[in-house]
Amino acid sequence: MVSILVVGTNHKFAPVEVREKVAFAEERLSEAYNYFRAQGIDEIVLLSTCNRTEVYTATQQRLPERKVLKLWLSFFGLPEGEIEGRFYAYQDKEAARHLFRVACGLDSMMLGETQILGQVKDAYEQAQRAGAVGTYLGELFRRAIKVGKKARSETAISKGAMSVGGAAVELAKHIFANLQTCTVLLIGAGKMGTDTAKSLVQAGAKQLLVCNRTLSRAQELASKLNGQVVSFEELQENLSRADIVIASTGAQQFILTKQMVSEAVKQRRYRPLFLIDISVPRNIDPKVNDLDNVFLFDIDDLEQVVREFLEERKKEVPKVEALIEHELQNFTVWLGERKAKPIIVQLLQEAQRQTEQALNELFDELPDLSEEQRRAIAAKMKALTMRLLSQPLNQIKQLAHTDGVLEIARQLLVPKEAGDGGVLNEESQRLDR
């Protein structure tokens, strides 16, 4: 019977210096798939991101997790103890549940993040191109992608900001009706400020101005973000051009004073001005909050927004888990039906054989029956047989994933060899006596 296994490591189990050693680089994926397939693994999908690497397999016989781990590490020329105690493994139903949680963002470093769903889809498609996906992992990954999409469309698990840059975008949307009309001014070259500017540009901001004391650094950032460089000496005159200002420098004093902002607001005819101060110590005088149509948020304000969104996302987890359990039940039934199919086919064949044998014996005893009567009796007997088998067949399908159920069904109902029947034959012989 087919068994599904996942062996992996992620940000919860191992630090980046360990994870990077066992991650499958895109340029080696084809080699990796050939390597695993050569070891006799029927189906395999490799999921490798910055926060996790996982090996999913489907095989006709249960595969020991240690064997997969050893093959995985051997591919990189690493000893088996390299990630001892830093990996996890799940079989069958638990493997499916784990993948569904991954696709929904419940197992991510950033709860509900959307990127992982695309990464799961990419991993599945790469495995398809490598010819490494068959019936079982194909069905598993299609259902994972399906439930991942439902989690994001039917719950708020991915709604709201989960980074300082994302928080800035959310706040900007509340201040400006349309970000596509907004100009962003980035003062400084700090990473968080740069990421925030990038988030605003990706959200549709019309133009980016980059201002830094070191002109070469400003030019480098402007080139990366498709922005325009303005010199530090031109800061005041460009302040009035900006709708959103991000301050992210290492200066030890205020770069934007209340007077400077007041002058800019007048030149803007009091249109809203959104100021984001990510610097520590702060670069914008907090007194600017006294000015009309000026909205100032510092790093603590933005991180509070992130925390609030995280709490909102946490409230959605039970809804997502309910979707996962529903899809997991559907997958388990599908898996059970696939596992039960050979036994069901055997059972139906045996039932048909015994029905035909009984009909032949009956017709031998009643030779005067017309052809029409024979057909009517045969149809009734076959219908009765299927009616009697209907409930047992459904029970076998429903319980096929339970350990031992299929073997019990096989022993009870299906003949072990020619002339040796299960319950069907035994009961028939008892009645004949």
- Helix, strand, coil: what percent of the chain each, to 5? 60, 15, 30
Count of CA atoms in the C-beta half-sphere (13 A) of 411: 5
Concerning whether 50 is annotated as a catalytic residue, the answer is yes
Read off the amino acid at residue 9. T
Gap between the Cα atoms of 5 and 22, Å rounded: 18
Count of CA atoms in the C-beta half-sphere (13 A) of 161: 23
Adjacent-strand bridge partners of 53 = 9, 48
Gap between the Cα atoms of 4 and 143, Å rounded: 14
Tell me which of 50, 104, 182, 211 is the catalytic residue: 50
Residue 433, class by beta-carbon neighbours within 10 Å (0-12 exposed, 13-18 middle, 19+ buried)? exposed
Residues near 259 by beta carbon (within 8 Å), at least 6 away in sequence:
none
Gap between the Cα atoms of 72 and 83, Å rounded: 11
DSSP calls for 356-416: HHHHHHHHHH-TT--HHHHHHHHHHHHHHHHHHHHHHHHHHHHHTTSTTHHHHHHHHHS-S
Residues near 64 by beta carbon (within 8 Å), at least 6 away in sequence:
none
Going through 238-309 in order, the beta strands assigned E by DSSP cover 244-247, 273-277, 294-298
Coil/strand/helix, residue 237: helix
Residues near 85 by beta carbon (within 8 Å), at least 6 away in sequence:
none
Gap between the Cα atoms of 91 and 64, Å rounded: 10
Residue (of 78, 82, 64, 59) closest to 7 by Cα position: 64
Structure tokens at 266: 């007048």
Gap between the Cα atoms of 358 and 367, Å rounded: 14
Count of CA atoms in the C-beta half-sphere (13 A) of 38: 9
Catalytic positions, written as ranges = 50
